[in-house]
Structure 1
Amino acid sequence: MRTSVVCSGGLDSVSLAHVMADENRLTRLVSFDYGQRHRKELDCAAACAVRLQVPHHVVDLRSVGAALTGSALTDDVDVPDGHYAEETMKTTIVPNRNAIMLTIAFGLAAAQGDDAVAAAIHSGDHFIYPDCRPAFAKAFDAMQRAALDGYADIVLDTPFVHSSKAEIVTQGARVATPFAETWSCYKGGKMHCGRCGTCVERREAFHLAGITDPTDYSDPDFWREAVAARETA
């Protein structure tokens, strides 16, 4: 099944790209520039495409991202510290982001003759992001089948949707994903901050998976405090 992967350049999507390549399914990577402050992800996505020897389509959505105001990922809003599953992390929502990106990715897949679009949404995202939940994936898949009815038959593949971040790390390691060449931090600094929700989740995932984390963090130990705070909340 010819599969294009929506690849932000983060740990999850790069791992997914390597899994698809290992299964001889990967045809291309699709990334989106929506004005996000953590733009190092796009460099990591580009490097992944070169490494896996597939085309890399970067779609310019900066004007759209500028209109989706209020998110800490695109506006002058502080990115909160703490565990990913805390209420404060909802400031990192970019409204309808996945629905917008996947719609474009499906159009591209139809134009290029692919059979599937794969996205790396996973269980750790469910609490915060409504467009990362199984119900959304099921509804979106049905909508796209209707939208392309009679023109193309493309499915939405979300193999990580019921997986934890630690399970994704394990799967990524199985196919030799170079984790050091992925970017997760929402703050857009020179190195991973170690304090934002996605840094905490990343560090915790490696710990739970029992796999060495090659990431350099400005604050490498904060994750323990954040996890403990979440567990006692």
Structure 2
Amino acid sequence: MSDSANPAPKAVVIYSGGMDSFTVLHRALRQGYEVHALSFHYGQRHARELDMARHVCRRLAIAHQVVDIQSIHSLIDGSALTDAQRPMPEGAYAGDNLAATVVPNRNMILLSLAIAQAVNIGAGICFYGAHGGDHVLYPDCRPEFVERMNAVAAIANFSPVTIEAPYLRADKADILADGLAMGLDYADTWTCYQGGEHACGRCGSCHERLAAFAAHGLADPLAYASTGTA
């Protein structure tokens, strides 16, 4: 426990409201950090994850900012995640059918802003939820990217910041196992690429999430419009 003489170290957590960053958020809290959660509205096609993030941070009574960077939308609108007119790929994660969901330079942009906040508030570490299941498709979730961003974060300011991706070499089932061990309720997360009343059950993100729960012999607490192809 921290006290006024020995305050808890500060950490910035990039928190989308999805199950990966939800688990990272709680992991940082369990490690004793004073967490400052940072979410971004960059023009994604729905805001369901952001609503979840607000709900969780209010319940946990932790500092939370939703940063509106929608003005950059025209720079990154070539993705199915940022252009609602583009069809959303369905099926399991694979480079041939989900390349359309890559948002150009997204994690470099978000990490740059998170590092700035870390320096501003005196935090020495910035967490984000990259994981091994994303390596096949998203270059900014691979170890090489994290290593190089870490090198830059160490010299970009007078105060060095460490980037921590605790699940960088884990898959979604591993992340879920860690969260279950912490007693987390994944009804407080949104993973689906669509923003409907229920998760679609067809997009790559839903497939991966449902497979993680199935690997543990559990039912996902979220409601799905369809799970016939999961």
Number of aligned residue pairs: give it.
221
Distance 1:37 1:81 in 2: 16
105, 111, 131: which one aligns with 1:122:
131
Cα deviation, 1:67-87, whole Å, max 9, x if unaligned, reads 212100111211111002242
Task: Calculate the TM-score normalised by the size of structure 1.
Answer: 0.91
Say yes or no: does 1:88 pair with 2:97. Answer: yes
- How far does residue 205 in structure 1 lie from its aligned partner after superposition? 0.7
Task: Calculate the TM-score normalised by the size of structure 2.
Answer: 0.93
Contact 1:4 1:118 in 2 (8 A): yes
Distance 1:167 1:87, change over 3 A: same
170, 181, 188: which one aligns with 2:188:
181
Cα deviation, 1:142-191, whole Å, max 9, x if unaligned, reads 0111101xx21210011100001000001111222220110011121111
Cα deviation, 1:105-150, whole Å, max 9, x if unaligned, reads 00001101111000010001111111010000000010111101xx
Distance 1:85 1:16 in 2: 24
Letter in 2 for 1:128: L
Structure 2 residue runs of 5 or longer lacking an equivalent are 1-8
Letter in 2 for 1:7: Y
Letter in 2 for 1:47: H
Comparing 206-215 with 30-39, greater Cα deviation is found at 206-215
139, 142, 151: which one aligns with 2:151:
142
More helix by share: 1
What is aligned with 2:31?
23
Distance 1:210 1:168 in 2: 15
Runs of 4+ aligned residues of structure 1 deviating over 6 Å after TM superposition are none
Contact 1:5 1:26 in 2 (8 A): no
Contact 2:10 2:36 in 1 (8 A): no
- How far does residue 212 in structure 1 lie from its aligned partner after superposition? 3.1
Letter in 2 for 1:159: P
Distance 1:153 1:210 in 2: 43
Matches within 5 A, 1:194-209: 194-209=201-216
Cα deviation, 1:18-68, whole Å, max 9, x if unaligned, reads 111122214210000011113100011111211222111111111112321
What is aligned with 1:6?
14
Say yes or no: does 1:190 pair with 2:178. Answer: no
Letter in 2 for 1:127: V
Contact 2:15 2:37 in 1 (8 A): yes
Identity across matched positions, percent:
38
Quick one: higher RCO (CA 8 Å, sep 6+), 1 or 2? 1
Structure 1 residue runs of 5 or longer lacking an equivalent are 224-233
Partner secondary structure for residue 50 of structure 1: helix
Q: Let me know the Cα RMSD of the aligned residues.
A: 1.2
What is aligned with 1:229?
none
